[in-house]
Copies of this chain bind each other. A is one copy, B any other.
């Protein structure tokens, strides 16, 4: 069994982006990070994105509206960033306060600056196999992990467990594309699937994205399968100072001996998401013709 090292692959990608950005003659790509309020997890995510931007040479612009901001006021901020030629990418950190319609906010971001890939148009473009699409960071990161660990999906059966809008559906559409590295036969399973283990056992490549701790057990996996574990679940652990540990959607101890390759949690898909955000920001810059 080979471990797919997300930390290493993300670091390689970040180093490549840094080299690419350092070669740019004029202004550097600019990423606007909008964080509403100060939810601790959001603070930590935005800080990470800001630091990685700096490491690559991407300019970041941090906008910190208060948690009391109205939806219209937030729209006004987004409209300004959409119109600003110095801004290449816009990320509005999720989750937003309950009085704000998150889907409406994501749709407000101009498609060509939507580096988070949550705008309806970018999702449609993924289905259309349009290369100007911005693919959302987790599914894009999964495809990058597969490619860089030497897994060609052509002729393979890819089983996606979970039909979420941010992982399951886009990664299924990507795996299905008529492109080098993709071209998989794709099955999508979910909570209403009958006889799930029989279906997951068909998988040459199994992508687990259902948010249920250690849900995928050895009896659900075909020997030799490539297993991508998207889950990041906290489970109680009295032996830890924090009182919890992180586990994936896959029972690593029993599944990893069966798998030909597998991602660990943490250190698998997780580190790829920020790296893909950076890649999308550089792509937005390049597609803009730097305006």
Alpha-carbon gap, A156 to B189, bound state (A): 11
Interface of A, helix, strand, loop or mixed by DSSP: mixed
Interface residues of A in 48-63 (CB under 8 A from B): none
Given that A120-B124, A120-B128 are contacting pairs, would A185 and B185 also be in contact in the complex, using a CB cutoff of 8 Å?
no
- What is the chain B residue whose CB lies nearest that of A120? B124
Given that A185-B188, A185-B194 are contacting pairs, would A103 and B128 also be in contact in the complex, using a CB cutoff of 8 Å?
yes
**In contact, B190 and A185 (Cβ under 8 angstroms):** yes
Q: Is A193 engaged at the interface, CB distance under 8 Å to the other chain? A: yes
Determine the chain B residues whose CB is within 8 A of the CB of A194 once the complex forms: 155-157, 185
**In contact, A199 and B173 (Cβ under 8 angstroms):** no
Q: Is A192 engaged at the interface, CB distance under 8 Å to the other chain? A: yes
Q: Is A234 engaged at the interface, CB distance under 8 Å to the other chain? A: no
Alpha-carbon gap, A121 to B190, bound state (A): 25
Interface residues of A in 114-170 (CB under 8 A from B): 119-125, 127-130, 154-157, 163, 165, 169-170
**In contact, B173 and A185 (Cβ under 8 angstroms):** no
Determine the chain B residues whose CB is within 8 A of the CB of A189 once the complex forms: 185
| Interface residues on chain A, size class | 35 or more
Given that A124-B124, A127-B124 are contacting pairs, would A185 and B187 also be in contact in the complex, using a CB cutoff of 8 Å?
yes
Q: Is A78 engaged at the interface, CB distance under 8 Å to the other chain? A: no
Alpha-carbon gap, A172 to B188, bound state (A): 9
* Contact bitstring A176-189, B, C-beta under 8 A = 1, else 0: 10100001111111
Alpha-carbon gap, A199 to B129, bound state (A): 24
Which one of B157, B169, B187, B193 lies within 8 Å of A127 (CB-CB)?
Answer: B169
Most buried by B among A154, A155, A193: A193
Alpha-carbon gap, A87 to B76, bound state (A): 31
Alpha-carbon gap, A199 to B193, bound state (A): 16
Alpha-carbon gap, A194 to B155, bound state (A): 5
Determine the chain B residues whose CB is within 8 A of the CB of A169 once the complex forms: 127, 173, 176
Most buried by B among A122, A173, A183, A192: A192
Most buried by B among A103, A120, A189, A194: A120
A199 to chain B: closest CB distance in Å? 6
A121 to chain B: closest CB distance in Å? 5
**In contact, B127 and A165 (Cβ under 8 angstroms):** yes
Other than A120-B121, A121-B124, A157-B194, give 5 A-B pairs with Cβ distance below 8 A. Answer: A120-B130, A124-B125, A129-B165, A157-B199, A186-B188
